[in-house]
Amino acid sequence: MAPSISVREHVRWLPEPASEPTSTLVLTSNENRFIDIRVLKSNTESDFVASEGGVLPLHRLDWAFAGTSKSEVRHSDDGKAYARSTWMHWVSSRTRNVEGISDEGDMWPQPNGRVLETGNMINPATGKATDYEELWYDPPTKAVDDGDDAKKCCVVLQLHDDEHEARGLVVRVGQYVQGVLRIGEAFSLERWEWKGKGDGWKREVRMGDFWMPCGPATSDERLKMGGEVKFGEFVWKVVELGYF
């Protein structure tokens, strides 16, 4: 499937009303590697507000996780098609031990182009398993170069270093880059966005003390499939590099 960008418009813990307390962005690559970052909005603003360079404290993080996903087309009793999607966690902000952890939801296409996800998971506010709904919107992916032949880019960089208990993933889809990195008990993340030819790439959010190669992911012309990116103390592998 083609790489995708997904923005959550609201979450609803039934039977409560819908709301959106976060800025949630999911990037999914051609080979179904994904990064899902959910940043809590401030109490006084309609969106999150970060300092210069996008730096925010970790208490403003709701959840961030990455891994691989899969979907299976199914049909309801009345014949409506939907997708049963499963997200297998490989690194998470909430736990070091992600082996065997996954979550799943049913994705229902809506007439307005949105997708309504339904399922059951732990409500962090109550600690109880609760039926939920999430409404998702997929904005168009953009090429960051000018010209009629400009192509949209997908890049995935991966770090897997068991000796240092380090796992990281950086995913770029079009005009967005997100990265997550866990080293032992510590966790960091970044989100970048292309702001146009005049302003270029801007880091929108950064949490934690570790750096990750989101910047190199924006320079796809310097990368090669199967190559390596030395960044800080670690070597990241280019596991996906393509255009669409």
Question: What does the pLDDT look like over 80-112, one tens digit per residue?
Answer: 999 999 999 999 999 999 999 999 999 999 999
User: Could you tell me what percent of the chain has a pLDDT over 90?
Assistant: 89
Strands (E), the chain: 4-13, 22-28, 33-40, 61-75, 81-92, 102-109, 115-123, 128-137, 153-161, 166-173, 176-183, 186-194, 201-207, 228-231, 234-243
pLDDT mean over 203-207 = 96
Q: Is the pLDDT of residue 50 over 70?
A: no
With a threshold of 0.75, does the pTM exceed it?
Answer: yes
- The CATH fold assigned to 153-243 is Lipocalin (2.40.128)
- The CATH number corresponding to 4-137 among 3.40.600.10, 1.10.510.10, 3.60.20.10, 2.40.128.320 equals 2.40.128.320
| Separation between Cα atoms, residue 236 and residue 243, nearest integer Å | 20
Tell me how many degrees the CA angle 140-191-154 measures, rounded to the nearest 5: 50
Asked whether the domain spanning 153-243 has the same topology as the one spanning 4-137, the reply is yes
With cut-offs at 50, 70 and 90, classify the pLDDT of residue 204. very high
Q: Which of 23, 8, 63, 35 is nearest to 204 (CA)?
A: 23
pLDDT at 218: 97
Pairing of the two strands 4-13 and 22-28: antiparallel
* Average pLDDT value over all residues in the chain: 94
